Amino acid sequence: MSGNIQLLSDTLAAAKADGRAALIAYLPAGFPTVDGGIEAIKAAFDGGADIVEVGLPHSDPVLDGPVIQTADDIALRGGVKIADVMRTVRETHAATGKPVLVMTYWNPIDRYGVERFTAELAEAGGAGCILPDLPVQEAGLWREHAEKHGLATVFVVAPSSKDARLAEITKVGTGFVYAASLMGVTGTRASVGAQAQDLVERTRATTDTPVCVGLGVSNAQQAAEVARFADGVIVGSAFVKGMLDAPDDAAGVEAVRALAADLAKGVRGQA
């Protein structure tokens, strides 16, 4: 069975044709429970997200800030497994018809088996994977299996990336390029800043692949700011914080829906 890289590309192209950036939400699988996480992702789509990244909880994250680490810890203590991540992808894609990716560090895939992971992700209807800690020069095995199964391989670029390095990354990445707007870990920021725009411009000089910006966006005004120069706006910590701050799981799901609706206005210039 082939994965949904084409659906991902079509979704990003449709947003561009609509004169706007795509809204990409991030939520970890298994948080607050597996079923609760599935409902939260459905709510993100219902609120206006175009694409969702499902986080595979990891005990030693290098990119995730304290908010997402807290959610990951809850999911891991709840016993979340890769099978639960696949179920989350399967059920949310089946319910919405929208593109769902997995964001994961390399170690869990390596231990699970690349062929097994890519085959199961494609079977679940997944669109691809974001791999923040997999160096391009070591990604051959992953890329081979991802391409075979119709999955996008999304690499992360940072403001510190030199132009030659950007070209090396974008030459082999597919789906979109994840531009980390700031040096550091995920989390909401008061300002997303000029670094992100510079990074997008430098990345675009090397590729026609869409460039989506993450790290720091938490409200409609920031989403509108980033949407002016990026192909997609990625929001994670703000969704997770809304769920952590909610008095119960149902309120958490509604917080996700409301934030997605607010951010959707932002990327459309209606904030």
Which residues are known catalytic residues? 53, 64
Amino acid at 136: V
244 vs 34: CA distance, rounded Å: 15
3-class SS string, 24-46: EEEEECCCCCHHHHHHHHHHHHH
DSSP state of 52: E
Q: How far is CA 127 from CA 25, 46, 168, 193, 254, in A?
A: 14, 19, 23, 30, 26
Please name every residue paired with 52 in a beta bridge, in sequence order, or none if there are none.
Answer: 25, 100
134 vs 138: CA distance, rounded Å: 7
- DSSP state string for 218-236: -SHHHHHHHHTT-SEEEE-
